[in-house]
Chains A and B, each alone.
Chain A
Amino acid sequence: MKKKADEQSYWGGVFHRLKKNRLAMFSLIFLVVIVMACILIPILSPYGIEQTDSLAQSASPSAQHWLGTDNIGRDLFTRLFYAGRISLGVALAVTALECIIGVVLGSVAGFYGGVIDAIVMRVSEIFMSFPFLIICITIVAVFGSSPMTLILVLAILSWPSIARIVRGQILSLRELEYMEACEALGISDIKRIFRHLLPNVLAYVIVYATLGMASVILTETSLSFLGLGVSPPTPTWGNMIQEAKNILVIQQKWWYWIPPGLAIFSSVMCFNLLGDGLRDAIDPKLKR
């Protein structure tokens, strides 16, 4: 039996509206395909990540090497997807970590208010006033450039925005009558925050996280491009473009740097479209 839209659950309704947004659905499918390709690349590609083909060094794209090879004959199509593992993996880890820190601190600040709120807000102000790029460069240069450092640095620098969103929502939700009921029933603080308040904020967190993925991919690739993110031989989309710092590469070897650039661009664009679509689907009132 088919349910009517108004009988659907909250998330069912969201997905129903999202399905109607063709651009967002296309982005979702595109992203799923990219992620699957990154995961399955060892099966899909006949070449290994460091495997060199001595007969085809810096060869242009051909039937054997779809995106050509680099200076020492590594297949660039294969490397592009291994690089996607790092770029997308780092973005996912940063977004997850930043949301966890942000949600916990934001909800605690919003729920308890007073001194705790003041402290969390001042600290978040400090973090928001950091000159982001320079601090990233400084910390990465100081602690070395492994994916782990990068994840920690980016997450620690970017939690304040989500914390502020969550805090704002909790501040207004806390005043509603059902919270009074919770208090009257003697439900513990932790349960009240995580069982009764946070589910109402979840939608905002999901939208923020989707758009956040886009900006983390941009930041990670920028840092790797500067040689201050993840360093070779581990490929990422950012450090693959680094090759184009050489003018001869820009001039003659487009297959070195244009595919990773397009990979960054298309995945960021898809996350942005999906995020916009989710926002419209979650809150139809906001739709413009």
Chain B
Amino acid sequence: MRNYIIRRLLQMIPVFLGILFILFFLLDKTPGGPASNLMDPKMTPEQRAELAAKLDPEIPFYEKFVNWVGEAIQGNFGYSITHKKPVTEVIGDYIGPTFALALCSLVVALLIGVPCGIVSATRQYSRVDNILTVVSLIGISIPSFFFGLLLLKFFAVDIKIFPLFGLQDPLLMNPNFFTKLADYAYHLFLPTLVLGMGSAATFMRYTRSSMLEVIRQDYIRTARAKGLREKVVIYKHAFRNAMIPIITLLGLWLPSLISGALMTETIFALPGLGKISVEAVNARNYPLILGINAMLAMLTLIGALVADILYAVADPRIKYD
């Protein structure tokens, strides 16, 4: 197992470098680099040349790439041009809401999706199953931004029980830890619902099909024949094996969760990574774009690795060597 993890980590390096290389190549070949946005029309040609040289030195492409990777390994992703701060610091400032949103939604998705999937599978073709199947199909078919806007319309505009945007109430009196936490929860409720419901639908579909496969196996019949109670058969014997694909899905779901969080943030105007990514792209803030992409690509790769490891942990039949 340890050898396997080490080998996988080593394999990740070329893939990761490949991703960075393609990104770097694209950004480098684009007309209108970061300098064009910072140039003051009143600047003299000499000043312009100086600024351009500072931001985009005239050295060969591969050399720039090697330099950047060299610095990145040491944790230096350069300076965010618009924030005038190191990229790592900017990402650190904005990552909180994104992760909070992604994590809360994941919890909601698991708490709703998995039990619904089990109920649906154990009562296949019943009315409950039909309703849940239709609801989950709606969940995967509705665009998150449209669902978000509908919730905004009903809960924030029409009956005004939830805030329209943002993460904090600026008028909050004497904030202490608990009122602040409650305020965050209040602001994150609708976004979590939007993101959580979409993921819950996917989890439910996976749980249902995996559960259906498991409860038809011989050992489940044996367990029933032994006279075990149905609850024990389902939740102790079947559930464990049915969860194996879900565990794999968790790791692979990480990137979609983050992309979903970015999308949801823009609807509810939360100050997270989604907001700064769109801003960075519009301002051609290349160091920040590269930094965010590098981080998300890393997360995707780690997610896939974690999925494989958890797979082996959950299912002793699977051996890596």
Contacts and interface: CB of A to CB of B under 8 A. Distances in A.
Most buried by A among B124, B137, B284, B304: B137
B263 A222 contact: yes
A131 B259 contact: yes
Contacts of A228: 278, 281
Given A133-B263, A250-B157, A265-B143, A138 B258 contact: no
A265 B296 contact: no
Contacts of B141: 214, 265, 268-269, 272
Interface stretch (B16-24, B68-76, B89-97): B16-24
Given A131-B296, A142-B27, A261 B150 contact: yes
Contact of B278 (A123, A143, A226, A251): A226
Interface in B123-150: 124, 137-138, 140-146, 149-150
Interface string B5-23: 0000000001110110011
A214 B258 CA distance: 20
A126 interface: yes
B231 to A, nearest CB: 23
Interface of B is mostly: helix
B200 interface: no
Contacts of A129: 15-16, 19, 297, 300-301, 304
Nearest to B303: A129
B289 interface: yes
Interface in A216-256: 218, 221-222, 225-226, 228, 241, 244, 247, 250-251, 254
Contact of B293 (A138, A241, A288): A138
B263 A142 contact: no
A39 interface: no
A131 B304 CA distance: 13
Interface string A126-166: 10011111110111011100000000000000000000000
Interface residues on A, range: 35 or more
Interface of A is mostly: helix
Given A125-B15, A131-B300, A241-B145, A139 B26 contact: yes
B153 interface: yes
Contacts of A257: 146, 149
Nearest to B252: A128
A273 interface: yes
Contact of B146 (A135, A214, A247, A264): A264
Most buried by A among B137, B141, B259: B141
A122 interface: yes
Contact of A142 (B15, B26, B150): B26
Contact of B137 (A221, A241, A273): A273
Interface in B281-316: 281-282, 284, 289, 292-293, 296-297, 299-301, 304
Interface residues on B, range: 35 or more
B176 interface: no
B88 interface: no
Contacts of A273: 137
Interface in B106-132: 124
B143 A250 contact: no
Interface string A106-138: 000000000000000011011001111111011
B30 A142 contact: yes
Most buried by B among A129, A131, A251, A288: A131
B289 to A, nearest CB: 6
B52 interface: no
Contacts of B18: 122-123, 126
B293 A250 contact: no
B209 interface: yes
Contacts of A143: 30
Given A134-B293, A225-B145, A228-B281, A250 B263 contact: no
B145 A133 contact: no
Interface string B154-171: 000110000010000000
Nearest to A271: B141
Contacts of A131: 255, 258-259, 293, 296-297, 299-300
A134 B143 contact: no
Nearest to A237: B143
A122 B296 contact: no
A38 B61 CA distance: 46
A271 B146 CA distance: 18
Nearest to A272: B141
Given A122-B18, A141-B281, 18 more contacts: A122-B14, A126-B15, A129-B297, A129-B301, A130-B297, A131-B259, A131-B300, A135-B23, A138-B26, A138-B281, A222-B143, A222-B145, A226-B263, A250-B157, A257-B149, A264-B143, A269-B141, A288-B124
19 contacts: A131-B297, A132-B255, A138-B26, A138-B27, A139-B26, A142-B26, A218-B143, A225-B143, A225-B145, A228-B281, A250-B149, A250-B153, A251-B158, A254-B153, A265-B138, A265-B143, A265-B146, A269-B137, A272-B140
